[in-house]
Amino acid sequence: MSNIDNEKILIVEDEEHLLRSLEVFLKNETKYQILNATNGKEALKVLEKHDIDLILTDLKMPEMDGIELLKYVQNENLDIPVIVMTAYKSLETAIETIRLGGYDYMVKPYEFEMALITVNRAIEKARLTKKAKVAENLKTIATASVTLNHEINNPLTGIMGNLELLLDDLPEDKEEIKNGLKIALENSQRIADVVRKFQKISKFVTTEYIDHQLMLDLEKSSSMKSDKDEE
């Protein structure tokens, strides 16, 4: 999620005048970043490129409607509150979306002040959900760091100690063997450094790996400072 008061809201609405009026109002009254799409399919493209915190979607749209978009968000476990926007005649359907997992609904034409209250409440829910998820992730990482220390770091310390002894005892003419031992010692030290970083993790920051998979960014998540930082 973005920084407080700088969350991203996606408005999905096929009626341009309604889209623009709501977009302008939220930009004027809040510090949220506002993105838009004219149907559900366009919304999916926005979700692929941006970390969205809240979706405001029209109920009836061509190509992909609001219910289909809501189901997509749920199926992908995106943890994004969805507010459905609808005309009064479709109110029963809007209420049904709440049963399907939508956060709330807004009736057209909007009462902008009420809309702002609904949006702020949804953003607060998104913040709390994010904090809870980060806390759970940090708890899992803390457990993993204890396991790494026990299962890897302790025996690794013994391996590194023996490598250093071998390097000290080898005669100078065994240069090829010494180079191999130095490489093994360097790699062992790199593994030990990873374990230390896990033990210093204080926040949850990810980075993209192969095929768009996420991995933990140890440098940004760890409170450890490099030698350059300390100079």
Average pLDDT of the chain is 86
β-bridge mates for residue 86, sequence order: 107
Q: Does position 165 have pLDDT exceeding 80, yes or no?
A: yes
At 78, give phi and psi (nearest 5°): -80, -15
At 227, the pLDDT band (50, 70, 90 cuts) reads: very low
149 and 210 both lie in a single domain: yes
Q: Does position 201 have pLDDT exceeding 70, yes or no?
A: yes
At 152, the pLDDT band (50, 70, 90 cuts) reads: confident
Helix 91-99 and helix 66-75: axis angle, to 10°?
A: 10
Flag whether 69 is in a domain: yes
64 and 105 both lie in a single domain: yes
Which pLDDT score, from 0 to 100, does residue 5 have?
57
Cβ–Cβ under 8 Å, residues 58 and 40: no
At 89, the pLDDT band (50, 70, 90 cuts) reads: low
- Residues of the domain holding 69: 8-110
CATH of the domain at 89: 3.40.50.2300
User: What does the pLDDT look like over 40-84, one tens digit per residue?
Assistant: 999 999 999 999 999 999 988 988 999 999 999 999 988 899 999
More confident residue, 58 or 88: 58
88 and 138 both lie in a single domain: no
Please give the C-alpha separations between residue 62 and each of 12, 17, 90, 102, 187, in angstroms, as whole numbers: 11, 17, 16, 20, 57
Flag whether 122 is in a domain: no
In whole angstroms, give the CA distance from residue 137 to residue 85: 33
Q: If you average pLDDT over residues 14-36, what whole number do you get?
A: 94
More confident residue, 207 or 116: 116
Please give the C-alpha separations between residue 15 and each of 26, 151, 224, in angstroms, as whole numbers: 17, 59, 51
106 and 156 both lie in a single domain: no
Which pLDDT score, from 0 to 100, does residue 15 have?
92
Flag whether 156 is in a domain: yes
Flag whether 142 is in a domain: yes
Please give the model's pTM, rounded to 2 decimal places: 0.68
Which pLDDT score, from 0 to 100, does residue 31 have?
93
149 and 104 both lie in a single domain: no
Which pLDDT score, from 0 to 100, does residue 63 have?
86
For residue 59, how many other CB atoms are within 10 A of its CB? 22
224 and 144 both lie in a single domain: yes
Flag whether 119 is in a domain: no
Question: What tokens were used for 11?
Answer: 């408005």
Flag whether 123 is in a domain: no
| Total structural domains within the chain | 2
DSSP 3-state of 3:
coil
Cβ–Cβ under 8 Å, residues 200 and 141: no
Flag whether 140 is in a domain: yes
CATH of the domain at 215: 1.10.287
Q: Where are the beta strands (DSSP E) in 60-173?
A: 82-87, 104-108
15 and 57 both lie in a single domain: yes
Flag whether 182 is in a domain: yes
